[in-house]
Amino acid sequence: MKGLMRLIIIGLVLAVCGTMAYAAEDVIKVGVYEPLTGQNAFGGQLTVEGIQLAHEQAPTVLGKKVELVIVDNKSDKVEAANAVKRLIERDKVVAIIGSYGSSLCMAGGEVAEQYGIPCITDSATNPLVTQGKKYYFRMCFIDPFQGAAAARYAYNTLGVRKAAILKDVAQDYCVGLAAFFKKAFLDLGGEVVADLNYQSGDQDFTAQLTEIISKGPQLLYIPSYFAEGAIIMKQARELGGKFHIMGGDAMDNPDMIKIGGEAVEGFIYTTFPYAPEMPDMNPIAKEFTKAFREKFKKEPNANAALGYDCYMLIVDCIKRAGKADPEAIREQLEKTKDWVGVTGSTTIDENHNAIKAVGIKMVKNGQQVYVATVPPETGK
């Protein structure tokens, strides 16, 4: 009798273990490494909210449950590399989303490349993120086009002929975007009267702004992250600066207005082609906007939209591949053409960059308002 009971118990244990092993095989793990703390936390948190909404709407693929594994890269390059390594070695993910912040992507990308795991960044726009990479892709446009679009808008729409630049030399994103704006503006016939620097974490910009004001520019270009950008605008206005101020997609955060107050009125910036108030929204964007408001009780922004699109594209690639294999996902990412998401139509080019439009937003009456779309064909 005891022998029979022992056999029954062993059989039950084996059955349970077998079920657990089967369940594990039926789970597809997708990694996320975003800055949830540190300098870039606001952008990372918004992106993760978009990813979570997408996961809620598409929790399975090919009959298997998708498990999100979210890791905080702490806005730090070393942490970003370690986060990608943990996702691959410990969590066995088949694909990775991230990160907000080009420098973080470049650090994480080296690890992903080594292990052969496909990654797609939501909003890192520096060309170096994907340059020469087999496994890194992006959902957003790249800075050469964003910088050129900003320069053309300044020159052609605002009528600016003299511009100044103030950039964070510690951030690859800021340095790159400043360079692309400058080149395009000079090519159009404009003049850059000052090109000055600061370091991440600086709070006092009066010396640089005083020099810039003395040069008499019609526009100040600040390819900054939103918190420091808002402080720069505040100090520029306090010092009497009357010029236009323009920036890039990292300024697309509602807290910019909370920090900068009246000083950010009239601020213009390039951003991704989504905003909850934009006209002629596609059906996917309309549904996303409604669902995000209901889930999070606040307005979505472009970072959330890009995070949502990254997750949905990975799910679509797994469907197209017919399996959740990293190499198969990479191949399908390369084949992506005219894929429509919240942020419009996306085609992945030969350099793994997304060909898509650039949006233009302006702060009007204390609100961030979508005012124009720059099409991907011309950048004009």
Cα 380 to Cα 375: distance, rounded to the nearest angstrom: 7
Confidence tier at 274 by pLDDT (50, 70, 90)? very high
User: Which of these CATH numbers, 3.90.79.10, 3.40.50.2300, 3.90.420.10, 3.30.420.40, describes 144-271+360-374?
Assistant: 3.40.50.2300
The pairing of strands 162-168 and 219-222 is: parallel
Q: Residue 295 — left, alpha, or beta (φ > 0 → left; ψ -120 to 50 → alpha)?
A: alpha
Alpha-carbon dihedral angle through residues 130, 134, 136, 137, given to the nearest 10 degrees = 80
The HSE-up count of residue 272 (CA atoms within 13 Å, CB side) is: 33
Mean local confidence (pLDDT), 231-256: 94
Residue 338: how many other CB atoms lie within 10 Å: 8
The one-letter amino acid code at 226 reads: F
Residue-level pLDDT at 62: 97
Task: Indicate if the pLDDT at residue 4 is higher than 50.
Answer: no
User: Half-sphere exposure of residue 307, counting CA atoms within 13 Å on the CB side?
Assistant: 30
- pLDDT category of residue 9 using cuts at 50, 70 and 90: very low
Distance CA 85, CA 12 (A): 36
Domain spanning 22-141+281-348: CATH 1.20.120.790: no
| Two tokens, residue 115 | 């292990």
Q: Is the pLDDT of residue 3 over 70?
A: no
SS (H, E, C) 344-379: EEEEECCCCCEECCEEEEEEECCEEEEEEEECCCCC
- Domains 22-141+281-348 and 144-271+360-374 agree in fold: yes
What b/e sequence results for 290-325 when a residue is b if at least 16 CB atoms lie within 10 Å of its CB, and e otherwise?
Answer: ebbeeeeeeebbbbbbbbbbbbbbbbbbbeebeebe
SS3 109: helix
CA 12 from chain centre, in angstroms, equals 48
pLDDT per residue over 45-85, tens digit each?
Answer: 999 999 999 999 999 999 999 999 999 999 999 999 999 99
* pLDDT tens digits for range 52-63: 999 999 999 999
Do the Cβ atoms of 218 and 160 come closer than 8 Å?
Answer: yes
For the stretch 359-371, pLDDT in tens is 999 999 999 999 9
Tell me the C-alpha distance between 185 and 182, whole Å: 5
Domain limits of the chain? 22-141+281-348, 144-271+360-374
User: Is residue 255 exposed (0-12), middle (13-18) or buried (19+ Cβ within 10 Å)?
Assistant: exposed
As a whole number of angstroms, the distance between CA 199 and CA 333 comes to 36
What band does 125 get if pLDDT is binned at 50, 70 and 90? confident
Q: Determine the pLDDT at residue 25.
A: 66
Average pLDDT, stretch 227-239? 96
- At 328-353, the pLDDT tens digits run 999 999 999 999 999 999 999 999 99
Query: Is the pLDDT assigned to residue 279 strictly greater than 90?
Result: no
Q: What percent of the chain has pLDDT over 90?
A: 81
